[in-house]
Amino acid sequence: MGVGSFFTSRLDEAIGWARKYSIFQYPFVTACCGMEYMATACSHYDVDRFGAGLPRFSPRQADVLFVVGTISHKMAPVLKRIYDQMTEPKWVVAFGVCTCTGGFYDNYATVQGIDTIIPVDVYIPGCPPRPESVIDGLMKLQDRIAVGAQRY
Amino acid sequence: MASATETPPAPTEATSPAARVLKEALGGEVLKVEEFRGDLAITVVPSAWVRAATLLKTRPELDFKLFLDLCAVDHLDDEDRPKRFEVVLHVYSVSGKHHARLKVGVSEANPRLPTLTGVYRGANWFEREAWDLYGIVFERHPNLTRILTHHHFVGHPMRKDYPTAQRHVLPDPQTWLLKVPEGSEHLVVNIGPSHPAMHGTFRVQALMDGETIVDAAAEIGYMHRNFEKMAEVRTYWQIIPYTDRLNYCSSFMNGHGWALAVEKLMGIHAPPRAEAVRVILSEFSRIMDHFVCIGTNIVDLGAITPFFYLFRVREEIYDLLEACCGARLTVSYVRIGGLAQDVPEDFADRCRRLIDSVRKYTDETDRLVTRNTIFARRFKDVGTMPAEEALDWGWVGPCLRGSGVAYDIRKDHPYSGYEQYDFDVPVGTVGDCYDRYLVRLEEIRQSLRIIEQAVAKLPGGPIIVDDKKVALPPKEQVYSNIEALMNHFKLVYEGILAPPGEVYGYTEAANGELGYYIVSDGRKFPRRLKVRPPCFNIYQAYPEMIKGGLLADAVAIIGGLNVIAGELDR
């Protein structure tokens, strides 16, 4: 093992550690899950503890896309465009069962899982997920960010 | 469901002024007048459709000025009916305090009907929806285009012969909603569908002359997941979780309304204890809903503190709901004929503590916001809606009361025992954003009054009706005797079998009259379920309201209308 590679890997670790506590998220909020998203973001559960308190409403300033709520076929191209506008490295969280699989809306209108449109890093099931599961999902995301794992 | 003293009894065919006037004026063009569970339905021939609606609206003794709902029903394979489709109009008379239902048959070969947009402005989007979902052409409609599905969609998904899973992919969203005049130097500003000020998934395009909006158009349907189509293959119980996701800021109230509508169809009544608990939780849900509305509206104006205050107390209301049923948001706590299970033992104490807490945070928000100069200047005389226009659009709830019309179903048509409680209905005088805010703030306090009274005299007894055709037997019996086990199995397998007929059940949800129009043909699934969503009518007026104002005012107005995507697009 050369000296250079030793330094690089340590640097990656340091960057990963810094990144996982400075999550700038884009909340793509469409439906019921938005209420639990807001509950998680507010003072009671306080995602600021995880460095993820600041939503950015411009995809160009965000590095995690929170897809919160049902995505219909009418919405799908909008979601895709927003994902494409985000700069790398970027991560995607599927928040709620509708984004994971379409949920109990198995019909012509609803996309059956957003991973048919964009790559997803963390799935948070629940209809809607409780804030505790959201925080669990967030911590799983942090683990992925720390080691630089991503699916874009 | 006892009726209050001042409410007139529901009119029968003989006493209904609507049936009498229409028969006198139209003669043989009135095909039939039916009555079921106190609902009166008048069927006319297509050529008399517009005349009948005009009579209902303009005759002073009828005065059906409040447009409620217009929808289509598909009667495929129903041999008793000569025409496949039916178009149904619901209107309400604020002065006469009753509803009317006007129906017309439309044939499959020639699905055409003259538009009602000349009579009721609110009919516009409803007719577009009926065209989009059923393919009924409304002649001379100003803009008969798709509204809930996208512009690459093929077919009409609510028709019974449309396969539920038949999907159509949309390659690109529609770029222009507005027509920009040639050579115009105006600027088009697009807001949404993913924009923080749009509270979800609405889209508005505004044509700007400097800072002033000269033209605006809205697009909806981004959250369309067609719960009504799903309901046609679900039993009456299985629909309860879907109703939770209509107006998800106050889930419990949607289920409450649904249970009452099905109970009306079945002709049963929930026991007093269940009704009292329903009232308490509905009022807490109303408070939660108003908190979200006020909180997010103020965030749009740039102040985030009240939002944090109000969401903190929402957590405490979530705790109460969680203690009752285990879920925070989408509660699914009601059952047809009662509730899923009894409330916890310390329910009354929890409610009392919660009342104190809600009152404290409401007062705090009131002190912070109401007399704040910046807030008042952004809200006063902005987005003014006169009462007449509000009725024409079909506005209901706090928004209509903000315009000065004191129509509150809890007062005018009490359900679940609301007639026992003493409370006031606040109304505005100007109809601007500030009035709508004040009405909501006062309604929170009135809701607390109702809860205090309901908790003080919470009756004992069963929480679900003792009817083997409706309610599941208690678990201990299911596990110990064969009759109960069979009963349970049959009820789960076959569902509730409602009698054939159609009802319109309505309650005062947080945003106003939430109606469920159920058409039953006696099977375990409803033939048609149409939700009368308060937001749909309210948001329809939004592009008209913002014309002539500033773009910043448009942001202030939308928050106060409290449009919820789940209810808007269903």
Within 8 A of B230 by CB-CB distance, chain A residues are 104-107
Residue B453 pLDDT more than 90?
A: yes
Tell me whether the omega of the peptide bond preceding residue A125 falls within 30 degrees of 0, making it cis: no
CA dihedral of residues A32, A34, A40, A41 (deg, nearest 10)? -160
Distance in angstroms (rounded) separating the CA atoms of residues B517 and B538? 19
- Strand-pair partners of B92: B66, B99
Within 8 A of B229 by CB-CB distance, chain A residues are 107-108
Q: Which of these ranges, B48-52, B177-181, B222-226, B389-393, has the smallest mean pLDDT?
A: B177-181
Helix, strand, coil shares of chain B, percent, nearest 5, are 40, 15, 40
The more confidently predicted of residues B450 and B559 is B450
At B13, list the tokens.
């065919």
The string of pLDDT tens digits covering residues B309-321 is 888 888 999 999 9
Q: Determine, yes or no, domain membership for B58.
A: yes
pLDDT of residue A5: 55
Number of other residues whose CB lies within 10 A of the CB of residue B332: 18
pLDDT of residue B1: 38
The more confidently predicted of residues B15 and A3 is B15
Residue B531 pLDDT more than 90?
A: yes
Mutation pick from A26, A32, A84, A134 vs chain B, by most beta carbons of B within 10 Å, is A32
pLDDT of residue B8: 53
Within 8 A of A57 by CB-CB distance, chain B residues are 195-196
B143-169: average pLDDT = 89
Residue B215 pLDDT more than 80?
A: yes
Helix (H, G, I), strand (E, B) or coil at B361: helix
Q: Determine, yes or no, domain membership for B181.
A: no
CA dihedral of residues B168, B177, B547, B402 (deg, nearest 10)? 0
Q: Please tell me the distance in Å from B130's CA to the nearest CA on chain A.
A: 16
B505-517: average pLDDT = 91
Distance in angstroms (rounded) separating the CA atoms of residues B439 and B427? 6
Q: Please tell me the distance in Å from A147's CA to the nearest CA on chain B.
A: 31
B208-218: average pLDDT = 89
B389-418: average pLDDT = 90
Tell me whether the omega of the peptide bond preceding residue B193 falls within 30 degrees of 0, making it cis: yes
The string of pLDDT tens digits covering residues B532-558 is 999 899 999 999 999 888 988 888 898
B426-435: average pLDDT = 90
- C-beta of residue B40 within 8 angstroms of C-beta of residue B12: yes
At B459, list the tokens.
């009756």
Mutation pick from B220, B223, B291 vs chain A, by most beta carbons of A within 10 Å, is B223
B3-22: average pLDDT = 64
DSSP H/E element including A97: helix A97-101
At A9, list the tokens.
């890997």
User: Closest chain B residue to A32 measured between Cα atoms?
Assistant: B248
The string of pLDDT tens digits covering residues B292-306 is 899 888 888 888 888
What is the percent of chain B where pLDDT is above 70? Answer: 97
Directed axis angle between helix B272-300 and helix B305-325, to 10°? 160
DSSP H/E element including B99: strand B98-106
Find the chain A residues whose C-beta atoms sit closer than 8 A to any C-beta of B: 28-32, 34-36, 38-39, 42-44, 57, 69-70, 72-79, 82, 98, 104-110, 127-128, 130
| From the candidate CATH numbers 3.90.420.10, 2.60.120.260, 3.40.50.12280, 3.40.50.720, the one assigned to the domain spanning A31-146 | 3.40.50.12280
- C-beta of residue B391 within 8 angstroms of C-beta of residue B405: yes
Q: What is the full DSSP assignment across B212-224? A: EEEEEEEE--TT-
The string of pLDDT tens digits covering residues B336-363 is 989 988 899 999 999 999 999 999 999 9
Diameter over CA atoms, chain B:
81
User: Closest chain B residue to A76 measured between Cα atoms?
Assistant: B170
Residue A9 pLDDT more than 80?
A: no
For residue A1, name the pLDDT band (cuts at 50, 70, 90).
very low
Burial B355-392 (b: 16+ CB within 10 A, else e): beebeebbeebbeebeebeebeebbeebbbbebebbbb
- C-beta of residue B405 within 8 angstroms of C-beta of residue B419: no
Segment 133-172 of chain B within 8 Å of chain A by CB: 149-150, 157, 162-172
Mutation pick from B194, B242, B299 vs chain A, by most beta carbons of A within 10 Å, is B194
B330-336: average pLDDT = 90
For chain A, the first-to-last Cα distance in angstroms comes to 30
- Strand-pair partners of B505: B516
Q: Determine, yes or no, domain membership for B177.
A: no
Residue ending a domain, choose from B109, B124, B139: B139
From residue B219, give the alpha-carbon distance in Å to each of A103, B126, B198. 25, 14, 12
Q: Please tell me the distance in Å from A14's CA to the nearest CA on chain B.
A: 33
Number of other residues whose CB lies within 10 A of the CB of residue A87: 10
For residue B562, name the pLDDT band (cuts at 50, 70, 90).
confident
- Helix ranges (DSSP H) in B267-396: 272-300, 305-325, 347-369, 373-379, 387-393
Within 8 A of B328 by CB-CB distance, chain A residues are 36, 39, 130
pLDDT of residue A77: 92
Q: Which residues contact A63 (CB under 8 A, 6 or more apart)?
A: A19, A23, A24, A25, A86, A87, A89, A90, A91
For residue A6, name the pLDDT band (cuts at 50, 70, 90).
low
CATH number for the domain spanning B535: value is 1.10.645.10
pLDDT of residue B310: 86
pLDDT of residue B519: 93
Q: Please tell me the distance in Å from A23's CA to the nearest CA on chain B.
A: 18
DSSP H/E element including A139: helix A131-147
Residue A110 is classified by DSSP as B
The string of pLDDT tens digits covering residues B456-484 is 999 988 999 888 888 888 888 889 999 89
Q: Determine, yes or no, domain membership for B49.
A: yes
A134-148: average pLDDT = 90
Q: Determine, yes or no, domain membership for B113.
A: yes
Diameter over CA atoms, chain A:
57
- Note whether A31 contacts B248, CB cutoff 8 Å: yes
Q: Determine, yes or no, domain membership for B217.
A: no
For residue B5, name the pLDDT band (cuts at 50, 70, 90).
very low
Residue A61: name the closest of A79, A92, A86, A81 by CA.
A86
- C-beta of residue A144 within 8 angstroms of C-beta of residue A47: no
User: Closest chain B residue to A78 measured between Cα atoms?
Assistant: B173
Residue B125 pLDDT more than 90?
A: yes
pLDDT averaged over chain B?
88
pLDDT of residue B23: 82
> Domain segments of chain A: what residues?
31-146
The string of pLDDT tens digits covering residues B56-98 is 898 888 889 899 999 999 988 887 888 889 999 999 998 888 8
Q: Determine, yes or no, domain membership for B288.
A: yes
Q: Determine, yes or no, domain membership for B39.
A: yes
- Prediction pTM value: 0.90
At B570, list the tokens.
């269903």
- C-beta of residue B226 within 8 angstroms of C-beta of residue B570: yes
Does one domain contain both B108 and B250?
no
Does one domain contain both B536 and B402?
yes
Expressed as residue numbers, the domain containing B30 is 17-139
DSSP H/E element including B102: strand B98-106
Q: Which of these ranges, A6-15, B173-182, B500-509, has the smallest mean pLDDT?
A: A6-15
- Note whether A75 contacts B193, CB cutoff 8 Å: yes
The string of pLDDT tens digits covering residues B223-245 is 898 889 989 988 998 999 999 99
Task: Output the 3-class SS for B52-84.
Answer: HHHHHHHCCCCCCCEEEEEEEEECCCCCCCCCC
Does one domain contain both B382 and B514?
yes
Does one domain contain both B124 and B244?
no
Distance in angstroms (rounded) separating the CA atoms of residues B62 and B250? 34
Helix (H, G, I), strand (E, B) or coil at A96: coil
CATH number for the domain spanning B40: value is 3.30.460.80
pLDDT of residue B290: 92
Q: What is the full DSSP assignment across B19-52? A: HHHHHHHHGGGEEEEEEETTEEEEEE-GGGHHHH
Residue B148: name the closest of B121, B164, B127, B162 by CA.
B127
Quick check: B371 contacting A, CB < 8 Å? no
Residue B3 pLDDT more than 50?
A: no
The string of pLDDT tens digits covering residues A32-76 is 888 898 889 888 888 888 888 888 888 888 989 999 989 999 999
How many domains does the structure of chain B reveal? 2
Number of other residues whose CB lies within 10 A of the CB of residue A58: 11
The string of pLDDT tens digits covering residues B254-280 is 999 999 999 999 889 999 999 999 999
User: Closest chain A residue to B219 measured between Cα atoms?
Assistant: A74
- C-beta of residue B113 within 8 angstroms of C-beta of residue B137: yes
B12-28: average pLDDT = 78
Mutation pick from B167, B230, B238, B245 vs chain A, by most beta carbons of A within 10 Å, is B245
Within 8 A of B157 by CB-CB distance, chain A residues are 108-109
Residue B4 pLDDT more than 50?
A: no
At B235, list the tokens.
């039993």
